């Protein structure tokens, strides 16, 4: 996989180099299927497991990039977004002249499914409150993050995906997690992780925040507002994107004024779109 600079206004575009450079924009209309990962499809061409890379791009403030990949799945690496963040940081990020556009939430948009819930509300910055509840040894965990604080690389990106050892064979029989191993996921036994210490005490919920950031990137722009999720997952994340895109009265496409004193400092600094000069990931 390679990440290449793209012109202002391009957004994130996946390019299948093994299929005559066929392109799939990272937008909600191209969501194909969602179970244990988020996949995109256009005209029968698939890109799978997009959420970790998209999360890293949003977390690093990157709006425009071409993602070249020679197969149908984005590399899982260590199961987190940290390798992507480190690779981007190693080559730098370039400002672009065109001002950043973002989705400013005007009225609440919610999705409910039994005791599961996700909603987005008006607010300054981009804040996320996420609560999960899983069988032991995870239990109930909650986390809050403000992406405007520019702490994504330290507090969210390192959080790895996870799974229960007891579910492994069933999922493999379904054709899922075929590439899963102790090198790219937290493997949970009855007593806890079987492959080393956690990076955070609440690494599980932090990874769900990571996933959510990546899935909401499919709205096509960074969100200005507050997101609240309770026991949600990929399917509900992308359902929120779909509902948000259909409810055009719930949001507006806004540009950050470069020198407006009314805008928060972080928003002013993000006024110019940024793109990575990144290759060889």
Active site members: 234
Query: HEC profile for 165-203?
Result: HHHHHHHHHCCCCCCCCCCCCEEEECCEECCCCCCCCCH
Tokens representing 219 are 């709205």
CA-CA-CA-CA dihedral for 83, 87, 88, 89, to nearest 10: 100
Give the C-alpha separation, 40 to 20, whole Å: 17
Residue 264 contacts by C-beta under 8 Å, 6 or more apart in sequence? Answer: 124, 125, 148
84, containing H or E segment: helix 82-91
Give the C-alpha separation, 277 to 6, whole Å: 9
Helix (H, G, I), strand (E, B) or coil at 82: helix
- Helix, strand, coil share of the chain (percent; to 5): 30, 35, 35
Query: What does DSSP assign to residue 155?
Result: H
Question: What secondary structure does DSSP assign to 105-118, as a single string?
Answer: E-S-EEEEETTEEE
> What are 193-200's contacts with CB under 8 Å, separation 24+?
194/165, 199/158, 199/159, 199/160, 200/158, 200/159
């Amino acid at each position: 996989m390679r990440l290449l600079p793209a012109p202002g206004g391009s957004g994130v575009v996946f390019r299948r180099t093994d299929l005559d450079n066929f392109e799939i924009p990272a937008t909600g209309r191209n969501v194909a299927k969602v179970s244990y990962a988020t996949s995109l499809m256009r005209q029968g061409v698939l890109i799978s497991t997009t959420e970790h890379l998209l999360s890293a791009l949003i977390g690093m403030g990157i709006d425009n990039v071409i993602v070249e990949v020679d197969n149908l799945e984005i590399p899982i690496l260590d199961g987190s977004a940290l390798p992507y963040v480190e690779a981007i940081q190693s080559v730098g990020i370039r400002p672009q002249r065109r001002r950043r556009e973002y989705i400013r939430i005007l009225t609440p948009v919610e999705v409910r499914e039994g005791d599961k819930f996700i909603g987005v509300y008006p607010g300054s910055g981009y804040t996320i409150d996420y609560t999960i509840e899983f069988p032991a040894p995870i239990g109930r965990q909650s986390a809050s993050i403000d992406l405007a604080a520019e702490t994504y690389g330290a507090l969210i990106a390192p959080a790895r995906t996870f799974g229960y050892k007891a579910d492994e064979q069933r999922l493999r029989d379904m054709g899922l997690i075929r590439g899963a191993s102790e090198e790219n996921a937290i493997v949970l036994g009855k007593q806890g992780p079987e492959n080393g210490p956690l990076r955070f005490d609440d690494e599980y919920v932090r990874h769900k925040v990571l996933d959510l950031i990546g899935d909401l990137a499919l709205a096509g722009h960074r969100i200005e507002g507050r997101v609240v999720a309770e026991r949600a997952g990929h399917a509900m994340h992308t359902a929120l994107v779909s509902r948000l895109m259909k409810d055009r009265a719930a949001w507006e496409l806004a540009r950050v004024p470069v020198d407006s004193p009314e805008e928060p400092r972080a928003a002013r600094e993000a006024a110019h779109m940024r793109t990575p000069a990144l290759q060889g990931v």
